[in-house]
Amino acid sequence: MHHISVLFQFMMSNKLARLFVFAYSVLLHLLVFLVLMRYLCSHIKFAKKNIRIQISRFAYVDSYRRDLASEWHEKYLQHMEDAHGHEQDAAAAAAHRHPPEG
């Protein structure tokens, strides 16, 4: 413990030693802030890229769902025409395929 107090007294009494300690502490703080900034920037880039991937994936899934729903709707209408007659079902199917504009 005595060695630490002697070193502290030397640094406080010597102008050059105080300047060195100040410059060293500033340098260490700048190094820490630089590392944190680089980490944060890389994390933000990763997050932006990940968000873009998620958005494109959701758009693809939504488009796929719409296409699949349309395909199954057409299959259902075709089944109704084939299995259950062409008289009333054909008129209903035509109304579903081409709804009246209004």
Query: Residue 11 falls within a domain, yes or no?
Result: yes
Say if pTM beats, i.e. exceeds, 0.75: no
Query: Residue 51 falls within a domain, yes or no?
Result: yes
Query: Residue 102 falls within a domain, yes or no?
Result: no
**36-86 pLDDT, tens digit each:** 888 887 777 777 777 776 766 766 677 777 888 888 888 888 888 888 776
Our count of domains for the chain comes to 1
Query: Residue 7 falls within a domain, yes or no?
Result: yes
For the chain, what percent of residues have pLDDT higher than 90?
Answer: 13
Query: Residue 62 falls within a domain, yes or no?
Result: yes
How far is it, in rounded angstroms, from Cα 48 to Cα 27? 31
Burial zone of 50 (CB within 10 Å; 0-12 exposed, 13-18 middle, 19+ buried): exposed
Q: Which domain holds residue 8?
A: 2-97
The residue among 48 and 93 whose pLDDT is bigger is 48
